[in-house]
Chain A
Amino acid sequence: QVQLVESGGGVVQPGGSLRLSCSASGFTFSSYGMHWVRQAPGKGLEWVSFIPYDGNNKYYADSVKGRFTISRDNSKNTLYLQVNSLRPEDTAVYYCAKDRVPYSGGWHPPDYWGQGILVTVSS
């Protein structure tokens, strides 16, 4: 079965950086685009970024553009999110999620989600 396990979260000071990882199993990772979605404490879902199966044409929400970088290593079945210049409003649970359809350009919604990893930005 599909499993997505996030890691790399924690407490970081404003202006700091982290690299989030998402280890995937149970499906052919190299065939599927992947999303990052976040949820601030007690708030709704916010889409963050998408990377296609081949790692080209990455997409970002305006709120993170220029600060966050999505990437993937298909040889390691792992998705990454480099988060830089962190702000208190970036505090959230970060979920990685698998695209529903293989080889798509991001217009299909995520179907399977990890359990999320908490990032707290605080001094």
Chain B
Amino acid sequence: QSALTQPASVSGSPGQSITITCTGTSSDVGRYNYVSWYQQHPGKAPNLMIYDVTQRPSGVSNRFSGSKSGNTASLTISGLQAEDEAHYYCSSYTSSSTWVFGGGTKLTVL
């Protein structure tokens, strides 16, 4: 159950777009379309932003979008806003019937 691989940090200016990658294996990201993304602000519980690779829960801005190619999933945030500054975690269902998270990416809005 090795953690999924995410960049430790990304940054962008307001209005720009950024992409966070999440690399797994053929036993998790590459095998299932059960990849999700969470946003976590300091001291708060995680908030589900994307599920099933591309789906947005009700209430999540359409500035957030997800995709997947092979063993790598991606989260793109367009039109960056100050409130997007947070940690982002990917997660995937695995062939062991468990879940695995990525190490997390700190997004800084410059």
A and B part of one assembly: yes
Place the interface of chain B in its size category.
Answer: 20 to 34
Please give the residue numbers on chain A whose beta carbons come within 8 Å of chain B beta carbons, in ascending order. Answer: 35, 37, 44-47, 50, 59-63, 95, 100, 105-111, 113-116
Among B36, B48, B93, B101, the residue within 8 A (CB) of A44 is B101
B109 within 8 A of A: no
A47 pairs with B98, CB closer than 8 A:
yes
Taking chain B's interface residues, is the majority helix, strand, or loop, or is none over half, making it mixed?
strand
Bound together, the chains give a CA A108 to CA B103 distance in angstroms of: 20
> A109 to chain B: closest CB distance in Å?
4
A108 pairs with B51, CB closer than 8 A:
yes
Bound together, the chains give a CA A36 to CA B34 distance in angstroms of: 18
Given the interface pairs A100-B51, A107-B93, the reply to whether A44 lies near B45 with Cβ below 8 Å is no
User: Can you spell out 6 A-B residue pairs with CB atoms less than 8 angstroms apart?
Assistant: A44-B103, A45-B101, A61-B1, A100-B48, A108-B51, A111-B51
B98 pairs with A44, CB closer than 8 A:
no
B98 pairs with A109, CB closer than 8 A:
no
Interface centre among A62, A95, A113, A114 (most CB of B within 10 A): A113
